[in-house]
Structure 1
């Protein structure tokens, strides 16, 4: 209960709840439309989704400044790759949130002349770049941990005897075995690092949203809603349980 109270006391936590509810509404509306529900019911659920979207934008006012501060902290990291990925990721997130704030102002009537489509596309481009940086950071961390794990296992393992040549059939089996070993290594690394696993899953789910909105990968509204809901639930989990948040 204490962790839930601390979670709901944070504006980021409340925004994640609104986000989960928004994408849940979108998924329900899509399901109702596919099942042949009445247009009035579908319209009501879509209106609920729009209100939730507007509400969560309110919670994100000022978050672009927080993202800039995070970028300033990340620029002092000793690891060059992590410094680049995290800093650039936060900078793109700051630009994305800034565009999102402008869109909120346009929707509530504070900026009536704002070109909503133009700024929405610009916002999703920054969002996509931020996610690419996040996934690049995840890939770098996975590669480093896998290399460390393989090195540790090679020290305690025994080396197989080297043979002169291998038949073509044996080489295919050797290649399949190598691939299976790499997949097993990847699974062990992710299983041993829950924060990294959750971050990979969350970023992969989020990636479908800007790709669809920018027309780079056309899916269905149901897929986008499901991915948004899944990433929101994972975000809620990492906020409510700080040890699951990937650091730095």
Structure 2
């Protein structure tokens, strides 16, 4: 299994580049279609997008093992919420990659009998579960950091002083909302890894939602979300300190 984990780590950067190119093709194709481009150009872009998608699936052949190893490491985290969210997220990623491997075998012609639509649906469903868990982890991290920020007596005094100046309940609610939004912006600004993870997971969330028909958008919007999250992933590979830990 260690061999597969090493293979997955080496191919991860290439897979991210392929992913960025794939969603860039989707975004460009939608833009060209809206501007009345010819069917020949659009067909070539769709073919390139399909080839990039198939290449990505090949590069992810060892990713299930890497996700399982990450889940085994997460089980030992001391924080119960982080332990649950991170472990469950990695397990869903492992299932997503396993379904994706079966889908690759079908598209590559190795197992022609594979029901590609069924396995694609399963793959995106596990992907969606993993993203929901990851966003829940992000929300928990944000709440912990916000509580630390308001834990000081000075922060509490400022907030309470402003709230005492309010004339009614609605005004107090508005002030509380302003304080919380400013605190959220402060926390995210001072924690770039958490900010990048929130943006990346939020962008990725629209992809399975669209593919599963739960929230239909447009090919261009999906392409933009996929391209954005891919660029952020590449940044975390180039600069490991930007990757959210644990």
With the length of structure 1 as denominator, give the TM-score of the two structures. Answer: 0.91
Counterpart check, 1:160 vs 2:153:
no
Evaluate the alpha carbon distance shift between residue 55 and residue 178 of structure 1 in structure 2; reply closer, same or farther with a 3 A threshold: same
State the partner residue of 1:44: 44
State the partner residue of 2:5: none
**Separation in 1, partners of 2:114, 2:196:** 37
**Separation in 2, partners of 1:225, 1:211:** 13
State the partner residue of 1:63: 63
Counterpart check, 1:191 vs 2:223:
no
User: What is the CA distance between 1:56 and its match in structure 2?
Assistant: 1.0
Return 5+ residue gaps in structure 2 as ranges.
1-8
State the partner residue of 1:211: 209
Q: SS state of the match for residue 36, structure 2?
A: coil
User: What is the CA distance between 1:139 and its match in structure 2?
Assistant: 0.3
**CA offsets, 1:62-103, max 9 Å, x none?**
110110000000000000000000000000000000000111
What are the residue-to-residue correspondences of 1:169-184 with 2, within 5 Å?
170-184=168-182
**Separation in 1, partners of 2:19, 2:162:** 56
**Separation in 1, partners of 2:242, 2:18:** 21
What are the residue-to-residue correspondences of 1:48-197 with 2, within 5 Å?
48-152=48-152, 154=154, 157=157, 160=161, 167=167, 170-197=168-195
Residue-pair matches, total:
237
Q: SS state of the match for residue 58, structure 1?
A: helix
User: What is the CA distance between 1:166 and its match in structure 2?
Assistant: 6.8
Q: SS state of the match for residue 109, structure 1?
A: coil
**Separation in 1, partners of 2:166, 2:245:** 45
Evaluate the alpha carbon distance shift between residue 187 and residue 110 of structure 1 in structure 2; reply closer, same or farther with a 3 A threshold: same
With the length of structure 2 as denominator, give the TM-score of the two structures. Answer: 0.92
**Separation in 1, partners of 2:163, 2:47:** 68
**Separation in 2, partners of 1:204, 1:64:** 23
- The alignment yields a C-alpha RMSD, in angstroms, of 1.8
**Separation in 2, partners of 1:24, 1:94:** 26
Evaluate the alpha carbon distance shift between residue 153 and residue 193 of structure 1 in structure 2; reply closer, same or farther with a 3 A threshold: farther
**Separation in 2, partners of 1:204, 1:195:** 14
User: What is the CA distance between 1:161 and its match in structure 2?
Assistant: 9.4
State the partner residue of 2:238: 240
